[in-house]
Amino acid sequence: MTRDSAEVSLAGINKAFGGRMVLDNLDLDLAGGELLALLGPSGCGKTTILRVLAGLETPDAGTVRISGKDMTRTPVRERGIGIVFQAYSLFPHMSAVENVAYGLKVAGTSPGKRTARAKELLETVGLGEHAAKFPAQLSGGQQQRVALARALAIEPRVLLLDEPLSALDAQVRVHLREEIRRIQTQSGTTTLLVTHDQEEALTVADRVGVMLNGRIEQLGSPQEIYQRPRTPFVSEFVGAVNRIPALRAGNEVTVLGHRMPMSNTAPELLAATGLEALVRPEDLSLLAQSRGEGIVSSMVLRGPTTSVVVEHAGSSLRVDMPSHEAAGFTLAQRVEVHTRRSSVLVDAERAA
């Protein structure tokens, strides 16, 4: 760890553009050294939060604190922040090493020192061999590595990553996100990652904030967000779900013949005429049964797991299981569908 990790606090942030509220009384705290991912659909306000924290936007109300110090009105360059954007924003006329050394040059570091530091950082991001190359001579993934090294060169207190991987190929993206996580953990830099890729958020972050319409719907560990989503939106945004008709009695529902408590009980749900339980494909299981209500209609091999699709009481249900188990089922076979859940998230029935 290069220095004490900075805590970040956004409190009561409002931001409107042209009379339209984009951030609505938003609170967000990052612990020192943590990597927090903001995940949400396009336009929900993720980038605006990052820009408010960086000082690229001034909030209409609210406070931005870094290490306890009010920085709401502090200019961008005095906040000690490193930023990596989606598009490769390297200086095209500078070599990789010059790009990385740039921030240190502005800060007045001597040429010898800054070149040494830049080379060291290029080694860290795996580009030691490419220090003399210009951006146009580097692949997209390599350019983003240079951008990361450049952002880290000034030893920022806070690192902001705005969809840094979304322009890259799937394979490069997976590799680079692991690298980012490794380097971030090593440096202990408090980091905010903005992404619309749920897998990216769940795999690299300490905590994930799922956003909708300028608000954080749920903030928690990747496990909490995936396994215990608090709202149907969060559940469906972070993974696959089956919507299965559910019959309510009090605060309990019967789903696939199993009775269990509802994990959300908003008044509008209790007033809804029809309810659906939201169950992930891996929380369903199949039993071969000649009188079963379900019929296997397709099987999709996904590598170690297989998705078995079952037509059941008018719905198509996806059941994920280890591929060696799925090998025991055949198309058109009759099956019973069970759920392993002991409580379940419900939503009002959605019109077909």
Q: Rounded to an integer, what distance in angstroms lies between the CA atom of residue 79 and that of residue 162? A: 17
For the CB of residue 271, give the shortest distance to ligand ATP in the complex, in Å. Answer: 31
Verify binding: residue 40, ligand ATP, rule CB under 6 A: yes
What one-character DSSP code corresponds to residue 139? -
60 makes contact with ligand ATP (CB under 6 A): no
Shortest reach from residue 197's CB to ligand ATP, in Å: 10
Minimum CB separation of residue 188 from ligand ATP in Å reads 26
Cα end-to-end distance, the chain, whole Å:
53
Q: Does 42 bind ligand ATP (CB under 6 A)?
A: yes
Member of 1, 12, 17, 302 binding ligand ATP (CB under 6 A): 17
Region binding ligand ATP by CB under 6 A among candidate stretches 40-48, 73-81, 225-233, 309-317: 40-48
Residue 161 found at the interface with ligand ATP (CB under 6 A): no
State both tokens at 309: 């699709």
Q: Rounded distance, CA 64 to CA 55, Å?
A: 9
Yes or no: say if 71 and 163 are a contact pair by the CB < 8 Å rule: no
CA 209/CA 211 separation, integer angstroms? 6
Using CB under 6 A, pick the residue from 5, 47, 142, 190 that binds ligand ATP.
47
**Nearest Cα to 253, choosing from 344, 349, 347, 348?**
344
DSSP 97-117: HHHHHHHHHHTT--HHHHHHH
Nearer to ligand ATP, 85 or 102 (CB): 85
Contact letters for ligand ATP, residues 193-212 (x by CB under 6 A): ---x----------------
Report how far apart, in Å, the C-alpha atoms of 30 and of each of 14, 53, 79 are: 18, 11, 16
Among 28, 34, 39, 45, binds ligand ATP (CB under 6 A): 45
Query: Per CB under 6 A, does 53 bind ligand ATP?
Result: no
Name the residues that contact ligand ATP, by CB under 6 A: 17-18, 22, 40, 42-48, 196
